[in-house]
Structure 1
Amino acid sequence: MMTSIDHAQKESDSVMARLQQRAIEAQKRLTTKPKHEAALAQPMFLKGMDEFMRAMPNHIARSSLFAPVAQGRKKFHDGTILVSRADAMIRFKGKQLDESQADVWMQAMYEATKQPLGESVTINRAAFLKSIGRNTSGENYRWLHRTMEELAFAMLMIEVHTKDGKPKLAIGKTRALHMIEGFDYDDNTYTLRIDPRWRGMYSTREFALIDWVKRLQFGQHQNMAKALQRLIATSDELVQRYALDWLKRKLEYSSPMRKFRESLESAMRELERLEIIAAGRIEASSKGKPQAAWTKL
């Protein structure tokens, strides 16, 4: 027959067992990431990207975020709506970014694909400069540092809709999306942090693959050609056509249309030289509007 002492001991053992079980469950909750967090913690493998390729989300590559603008002509954007695809609205706050900074960002994102997004990425500064086709002069080190600062400051708010107007993607509405979330540095290395939310911009293969070998072969002062290379890579269409007035706005070209046409002609010749396009030309559209046209190789 169970005594009152035995009963009390049994109750005490039962309570202790329940407390231990709760402690175990609490520890599991602390050490086990939710499914969506576990998914973000995987490396961002991009199908089709190899050592000689770099990737940029289509909505970024087709926007005016990066443009072939001269250093002295850069402006500061304060929530500016960028030129982009019709299904996207991109607001940007920060200093205008140029094509050389596009190189830095693409290389940084390439480095980030080697490990789980959100984890710090350590890169050697000298090796990084060489990977984007620059030497290791003091001026280039200083330029790279300024670029890292501007990319870390640059803030985006991106909304993408389906063809019928339904929300498809929204990033940066409640917490700013930075091109680079932040970085630490010493004399030899940068340690970068990339926001895991960038994964959404690369989803369903909506990214342009940039031939990196050819990109490093562009001649001096061919930033417009480099900008067009990114645009060309966003579409699988063999023959591509773009209205001149849209291209002029996308490329942030502020000089008169006559000078823009001259620069565009030069850029197309450079793209032909590198066998990125063929038959680059300016022609009239079916509505009689001037447009640039070429065949993608």
Structure 2
Amino acid sequence: MSISDTALQQRVVKLGKHASARARDSKVYQLPLWPEPTRGIPNPVLRGALFAAVQGKNRAVFQRELLACQKGLQIRFTGIQLDQSDLDVWEQGLHLARLQPLGTRCEFSVYGFLKALGRKTGKSEHEWLKNSFARLMGCGVELTDQLEHKTYGGSLLEFMRDDLSGRYVVIFNPKILTFYDGGWTAIDWQDRQRLRGKPLALWLHGYLASHAKPYPIKIETLRAFSGSSNKQIKGFKRSLFAALNELKKIDFILEFDFDGDNVIINKPPTPSQQRFLFSK
């Protein structure tokens, strides 16, 4: 084989490798297609303190803070603490983005977005939304799967805004699917709207929705997982009692009872959860 033939063969092999790399890069990443009346939220987000049950005025600022969360995962957070209203914004953005490949532009009007959140559309609400997007963009989240020994690190979204037209473009990194690897839950959007302004009830709604049949759980565990700023267990127990009553009012749970350091909650499973329990 001549030198020129060898060079040509090497060139063909190199082009083939480049083509294979482009094929891998062109893979389409897409969120699960949950139905319109729900919002698909990753279970690791629902079972930890990433979006805490706190009032906005009580936000903390963290530097690689280790947040309480379910066993097998580790979440470190840098930035201004996120709350349940930020979760509303994040999941509404994901809801719009689920219809197209991740990494592409998802465009919407600020008016329509606020209406979908059940909020007013005046100047103060526009500013509130700007602040929420800034927190979601500016934070750093390190999600570690301790079994796989792999960590996702990044912010929760990127955005662009046209201040004249009032339109946003939001982009989600395809690696956000890492959050969904631990399973996800379709959250009833109307329920969340009915609980707006009640941070602990909202957090409990998401946490309990992610379990087909909740086991008795320690009050202290719920205090830690929810990111509550209430440092006294007695004070948190009073807040927990009130929040669980809010969930009873909307018929999300049937009953609850306190047994020593534990709380026992009776929640009817969804049809899909019933099938899961039956299969087990």
Distance 1:151 1:134 in 2: 19
Structure 2 counterpart of 1:272, from 248, 252, 258: 248
Gaps of 5+ in 2: 269-280
Q: Which amino acid aligns with 2:263?
A: A
Point out the structure with max Rg over C-alpha. 1
CA contact (8 A) 2:32 2:40 kept: no
Structure 1 counterpart of 2:258, from 265, 275, 282: 282
User: Quick check: 1:38 aligned with 2:26?
Assistant: yes
> Deviation string for 1:61-104 (max 9, x for gaps)?
11101112122211101001110111011111011111111100
For residue 273 of structure 2, what is the aligned residue in structure 1?
A: none
Q: Which amino acid aligns with 2:23?
A: P
Structure 2 counterpart of 1:295, from 242, 248, 266: 266
User: Quick check: 1:234 aligned with 2:215?
Assistant: no
CA contact (8 A) 2:39 2:189 kept: yes
CA contact (8 A) 1:268 1:281 kept: no
User: Quick check: 1:56 aligned with 2:31?
Assistant: no
Distance 1:229 1:193 in 2: 27
Comparing 144-153 with 258-267, greater Cα deviation is found at 258-267
Structure 2 counterpart of 1:208, from 185, 191, 209: 185
User: How much has 1:240 moved relative to structure 2?
Assistant: 3.2
For residue 200 of structure 2, what is the aligned residue in structure 1?
A: 224
User: How much has 1:168 moved relative to structure 2?
Assistant: 5.8
Structure 2 counterpart of 1:249, from 224, 228, 237: 224
> Deviation string for 1:263-291 (max 9, x for gaps)?
1111111101111111122223xxxxx11
CA contact (8 A) 1:240 1:295 kept: no
CA contact (8 A) 1:93 1:156 kept: yes
For residue 80 of structure 1, what is the aligned residue in structure 2?
A: 65
CA contact (8 A) 1:240 1:296 kept: no
For residue 287 of structure 1, what is the aligned residue in structure 2?
A: none
Distance 1:161 1:296 in 2: 30
CA contact (8 A) 2:55 2:199 kept: no
Distance 1:171 1:98 in 2: 21
User: How much has 1:121 moved relative to structure 2?
Assistant: 1.2
> Deviation string for 1:112-164 (max 9, x for gaps)?
111111112112111111111111011110000000011001111111133xx
For residue 198 of structure 1, what is the aligned residue in structure 2?
A: 176
For residue 170 of structure 1, what is the aligned residue in structure 2?
A: 151
Identity among equivalent positions (%) equals 25
Q: Which amino acid aligns with 1:199?
A: L
Structure 1 counterpart of 2:141, from 143, 156, 176: 156
Q: For 1:60, what is the secondary structure of its paired residue? A: helix
For residue 99 of structure 1, what is the aligned residue in structure 2?
A: 84
Structure 2 counterpart of 1:183, from 134, 159, 182: 159
Q: For 1:34, what is the secondary structure of its paired residue? A: helix
User: How much has 1:28 moved relative to structure 2?
Assistant: 9.8
CA contact (8 A) 1:68 1:98 kept: yes
Q: For 1:229, what is the secondary structure of its paired residue? A: helix
In structure 2, the CA distance between the partners of 1:28 and 1:185, relative to structure 1 (3 Å rule), is farther
For residue 118 of structure 2, what is the aligned residue in structure 1?
A: 133
CA contact (8 A) 1:89 1:159 kept: yes
Q: For 2:194, what is the secondary structure of its paired residue? A: coil
For residue 109 of structure 1, what is the aligned residue in structure 2?
A: 94
TM-score, normalising length: structure 2 = 0.85
- The number of residue pairs the alignment matches comes to 261
> Deviation string for 1:10-55 (max 9, x for gaps)?
x9xx99xx69xx69x85994797233x333x243234xx2001111
Distance 1:158 1:247 in 2: 20
Gaps of 5+ in 1: 1-10, 285-289
Distance 1:43 1:257 in 2: 42
In structure 2, the CA distance between the partners of 1:72 and 1:200, relative to structure 1 (3 Å rule), is closer
Q: Which amino acid aligns with 2:170?
A: L
